């Protein structure tokens, strides 16, 4: 997948916005990091630590819950959580898009932000939160899409695979939003 083309489409289709944050439903934000590695576009995801109370062992994008006392807005949440989870400081100026909100069955509204990084990334995962950092070839990931019929009653739920890792739920919904850009 051409990183320049996807960047242009993301900027045009999903511009960054500023809006007031309402307390309910609970807000969260994630950061989708796209970057070149070995001449291929990659996306950064994590395997959550197995001891966590919620979503243990699941594959997700770096991110977390909006904290009013720490975050000015949801982009600040995504940037702070990315730094805390994988030790990568991303400048807000590198963020190119804000994808549509993804609602979860647990009552969260997740705002996904997308950034494109040209420099080499160095990771320092927080062991209490992250079991594994996954650098996934993006085109191969999108090609692994399958209908997810086993978990949800929602129509058109998709899942993706990277090696033995199943990517489903909110993370799959976010990938699907980006994948739709590559079809036109």
pLDDT digits (tens, 9 = 90+) for 140-155: 999 888 887 665 555 6
Do 160 and 144 contact (CB within 8 A), yes or no?
A: yes
Q: What is residue 150's predicted lDDT score, i.e. its pLDDT?
A: 64
Q: What is residue 184's predicted lDDT score, i.e. its pLDDT?
A: 38
> Class of the 3-181 domain?
alpha beta
Q: What is residue 148's predicted lDDT score, i.e. its pLDDT?
A: 73
Q: What is residue 93's predicted lDDT score, i.e. its pLDDT?
A: 94
Q: What is residue 4's predicted lDDT score, i.e. its pLDDT?
A: 84
| pLDDT tens sequence across 29-67 | 999 999 999 999 999 999 988 776 766 678 999 999 999
Q: What is residue 106's predicted lDDT score, i.e. its pLDDT?
A: 77
Non-local CB neighbours of 42 within 8 Å, separated by 6+ positions: 34, 35, 36, 135, 136, 137, 138
The pTM of the full predicted model, rounded to 2 decimals, is 0.89
pLDDT above 90 as % of the chain = 58
What is the C-alpha to C-alpha distance for residues 15 and 108, in angstroms, rounded to an integer?
A: 22
Residues of the chain with pLDDT below 70 are 1, 23-24, 52, 54-56, 149-156, 182-184
């Amino acid at each position: 997948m051409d990183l320049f083309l996807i960047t242009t489409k993301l900027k045009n289709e999903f511009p960054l916005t500023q809006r007031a944050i309402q307390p309910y439903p609970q807000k969260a934000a994630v950061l989708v990091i796209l970057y070149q590695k070995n001449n291929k576009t990659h996306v950064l995801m994590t395997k959550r630590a197995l001891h966590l109370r919620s979503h243990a062992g699941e594959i997700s994008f770096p991110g977390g819950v909006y904290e009013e006392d720490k975050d000015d807005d949801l982009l600040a949440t995504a940037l702070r959580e990315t730094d805390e989870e994988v030790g990568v400081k991303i400048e807000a100026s590198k963020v190119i898009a804000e994808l549509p909100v993804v609602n979860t069955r647990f009552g969260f509204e997740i705002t996904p932000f997308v950034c494109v990084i040209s420099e080499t990334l160095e990771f320092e995962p927080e062991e209490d939160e992250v079991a594994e950092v996954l650098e996934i070839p993006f085109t191969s990931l999108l090609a692994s899409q399958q209908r997810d019929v086993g978990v949800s009653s929602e129509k058109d739920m998709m899942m993706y695979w990277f090696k033995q890792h199943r990517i489903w739920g909110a993370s799959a919904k976010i990938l699907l939003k980006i994948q739709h850009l590559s079809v036109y």
